[in-house]
Amino acid sequence: MSKHQFLLFLLWSLFIVLCCSECRDCTSYEEKGDLEAIKKRGKLRILLPVLWEDEMLPREGTPLGLNEEVAKKFALEIGLVPVVVYVENYEDLIEYLLDGKGDLIAADLTVTSERKSRVAFSAPIKLVKEQVVTRTDDNTIKKKKDLSGRQLAIRKSSSYWETLEELKKSYPGVEMLPVKENLDTEQIIHLVAEGVYDATVADNNLIDEVLRYRSDVKVAIDLTGDRPVAWAVRPQSTELLKELNSFIDREKLAGLSGETYKDDLPGIKGRKVLRVLTRNNAANYFLWRGELVGFEYELAREFARRHGLRIKMIVPPSHDDLIPWLKEGRGDVVAASLTVTEERKAEQGVSYSRPYNYVTEMLVARADEESLQEMRDLAGREVVVRPGSSYWQTLSRLKEQGVEFQLQEAPADMETEEIIDKVAKGEYDLTVADSHILDIELTYRDDIKGAFALTDKVPHGWAVRAENKELLAAINSFFEKEYRGLFYNVTYNKYFKHKHGIRKLVEQRAGTGNKLSPYDEIVKKYAKRYAFDWRLITSQMYQESRFDPGAVSWAGALGLMQVMPRTLKELGFEDVHSPDEGIHAGVKYLYQMRSRFDAPLPLTESVNFALASYNVGYGHVLDARRLAGRMGLNPDEWFNNVERAMLLLAKPEYYRHSRYGYCRGSEPVKYVQEILTRYSAYINIAEHQ
């Protein structure tokens, strides 16, 4: 294929993905044939479960949505238009496939005897062990026979149920407790930890991830040996399966075994995976409304894409572990807003890329501080920073130059954002932050300020092992082309310049006459359908978009109700800029969130939790409810209870032990408060009308 033909192919593929791949009309047919019949229709229908933002933040794993991305690539490689068919219930995936409503299940299915009798599985994507999970203080299960008389909470649709049914043939005393199908395995593990259930079963890779953020559960025993996890096609789709297995082999989808690697770019390309060491915070990498975001994450993802690689995100326990983990071969690159100092450049075994960002190190003080204008004003003050940070080096040099102040250590695992928060509260006197971190903070808060710069502009760079010269050259080439280019500027402005914080609360009558908004009749129609007060929906719509149907948020949320693109696709909507579809999508999504908070919660609390979930993601609200319970607060009440716990999820000592990681909890707290305050005003307005 010539370069010109290749570019045309890429443009055609992009057009297909953007314009055709989510069309609902594309799935309104049944097809049960093999590859030849599928090619006549020109589309590969990819069956995927609706995520509903349940995916946790990967602290050491591949990004969310990887299966969808890879399956689309497979479709394009065999000359077909990728069409995603979202299936609301995981257990219905096989039925959809066999009924001809889809052609390929691109979800991770454990290969079991029962499933093998119904579908044809691909080559393994990975291997997992099924393990029994109990509370840490439960030492009664050491062998399989110890499961007799024990009750294990399992979804009937899971592969674990089939495993336990087989086990009961040898140990009839094993009891299986069926749980609700809308409980995912991690939620069941949490309920085991909280004493609701006795024990459960989960795959070892999922348990490993859970154990990274909580220590009150453990693996009791292995229930199985290694079992393959794979994708599936219909039994008669032998040619499609042949093409799929060839693709899986080329793409190395079986993943990594957990071993360390120190190879250069050719070896990384052979493995097809770039392992990125970073930190879970607002500048680098975090989860927002079910989407992975962050400046460093987006740069790394784009670099990987340019080289035909997938990325695996790895978050070490602290900042001080980033370089040691790189040297040990536990990652390939450090992308974590590292300032390239002379001290760091002198370290053996590490090389830094050319700069891709320049920041100044700013002295951070409380907003009402008036006495700090220049260096000499630091006399007698106390400045708190991490010892391993570039700020410590800067401040140490200032002390050597005769500036008299006290330099105090912050914990090595404390993020700069948390130190800033302690300054704002008066727990610390002063601190230092890179200007881009301060920019983020100032989009959300007004109780701190940058007093003055301690340095001129200093560079940020990525770190690689010194011997990985080809990788370093590729990174340098990427930054040389992209720095201050379109992609870079859009990404930079998205995180550091866009004022996406909570706006000042104002009341605005957006229409004339007796209307609260230009869209009252549409809102009333869908609010009634999903059993909401239409004035609540109007208040939320104002909060989201200021009644602008063309609004686009900093993270790509769209329309009057600011729904994320992936969620729109899963809900089945296409034209979000149409007021009717945009409002319908938002109300339906809020209904989905409310439905997830089961009775006996009062309706008002379900709505509060649903609003918070709409803003920041369902998972972060689950984390806050669990944290509230551990704090002795009421996990079933939002105000003065769960909202207090939510505020703590911006602090490392709390988000490191949460399923969904870092969360700027002040945003959903203000979001719920402002919507309900405006809602009360709207009620009064409507009643007076």
DSSP notation for 385-417: E-TTSHHHHHHHHHHHTT---EEEEPPTT--HH
Token pair recorded at residue 641: 């209870």
* Among the ranges given (3-12, 284-293, 371-380, 450-459), the one the predictor scored with the smallest mean pLDDT: 3-12
Mean of pLDDT over the chain: 87
Give pLDDT, residue 442. Answer: 84
Phi, psi of 409 (to 5 degrees): -80, 135
Partners of residue 128 on adjacent β-strands: 227
Is the domain defined by 3-118+235-251 classed in CATH 3.40.630.30? no
61 pLDDT band, cuts 50/70/90, is low
What does the block give as tokens for 220? 């009791």
Distance CA 434, CA 441 (A): 11
Q: What whole-number distance in Å separates Cα of residue 63 and Cα of residue 312?
A: 7
pLDDT, tens digit, 9 for 90 and up, residues 570-584: 888 887 778 999 999
The CATH classification of domain 130-225, taken from the options 3.40.190.10, 3.40.50.12780, 3.20.20.70, 3.40.120.10 = 3.40.190.10
Mean pLDDT of 109-135: 93
> Which residues form the catalytic set?
544
pTM for the model stands at 0.70
What residue segments make up the domains of the chain, in order of their start?
A: 3-118+235-251, 130-225, 265-357+461-496, 361-455, 520-688
Separation CA 130–CA 201 (nearest Å):
6
> Residue 212: its pLDDT value, please?
81
**Helix (H) and strand (E) counts in the chain:** 27, 25
Residue predicted with more confidence, 393 or 28: 393
Structure-token pair, residue 70: 């890879």
Predicted confidence (pLDDT) at residue 209 exceeds the cutoff of 90: no
Neighbours of 106 (CB within 10 A): 28
In terms of CATH architecture, what is 520-688? Answer: Orthogonal Bundle (1.10)
At residue 157, the pLDDT reads 86
Q: What is the mean pLDDT of residues 143-168?
A: 93
Mean pLDDT of 622-637: 93
Tally the C-alpha atoms within 13 A of residue 688's C-alpha that lie toward its C-beta: 9
Please give the average per-residue pLDDT across 355-364, as a whole number. 94
Q: What percentage of residues in the chain have a pLDDT greater than 70?
A: 90
Q: What is the pLDDT, as a whole number, of residue 18?
A: 45
| Cα-based angle 607, 609, 614 (whole degrees, multiple of 5) | 90
DSSP string over 149-171: T-EEEE-TTSHHHHHHHHHHTT-
Q: For 426-445, what is the mean pLDDT?
A: 89
- The number of beta carbons lying within 10 Å of the beta carbon of residue 90 is 18
| Diameter over CA atoms, the chain | 80
- Please determine whether the domains at 3-118+235-251 and 520-688 fall in the same fold group of CATH: no
689 DSSP 8-state letter: -
- The CATH code that applies to domain 361-455 is 3.40.190.10
Q: How high is the pLDDT of residue 152?
A: 96
Q: Report the range of poorest mean pLDDT among 16-30, 340-354, 443-457, 670-684.
A: 16-30
Which amino acid, residue 292? L
Return the CATH number of 265-357+461-496, one of 3.30.930.10, 3.40.50.740, 3.40.190.10, 3.30.379.10. 3.40.190.10
Task: Using pLDDT thresholds of 50, 70 and 90, give the confidence band for residue 254.
Answer: low
State what percent of residues in the chain have pLDDT above 90. Answer: 57
φ/ψ of 382, rounded to 5, equals: -120, 130
Phi, psi at 391, each rounded to 5° = -65, -40
